[in-house]
Amino acid sequence: MKKSKKSKYFFRILFCFFFVFVALLIAYESGYYETKMSNRAILTKEAMEQFESDVENGEVVDIKDYLKDESVDYSNSVTKIGNKISNGISEVMTKGLSGLFDALKGLFW
Q: Is residue 4 part of a domain?
A: no
Q: Is residue 49 part of a domain?
A: no
Spatial CA neighbour of 53 closest among 65, 41, 42: 65
Cα distances (Å, whole numbers) of residue 92 to 87, 96, 102, 104: 9, 6, 15, 18
Residue 12 is predicted with a pLDDT of 92
Residue 106 is predicted with a pLDDT of 84
Q: Is residue 19 part of a domain?
A: no
Q: Is residue 91 part of a domain?
A: yes
Percent of the chain with pLDDT strictly greater than 90: 10
The mean pLDDT of 77-99, rounded to a whole number, is: 85
Number of domains in the chain: 1
Percent of the chain with pLDDT strictly greater than 70: 88
Spatial CA neighbour of 26 closest among 18, 16, 38: 18
Q: Is residue 80 part of a domain?
A: yes
pLDDT band at 39; cut points 50, 70, 90: low
Residue 14 is predicted with a pLDDT of 93
Do the Cβ atoms of 36 and 16 come closer than 8 Å? no
Q: Give ∠ CA 86-87-90 in degrees, rounded to 5.
A: 85
Sign of the Cα pseudo-torsion (14, 24, 83, 78, in order): negative
Domain ranges, residue 88 = 72-109
Q: Residue 83 and residue 89: Cα distance in Å, rounded? A: 10
pLDDT band at 41; cut points 50, 70, 90: low
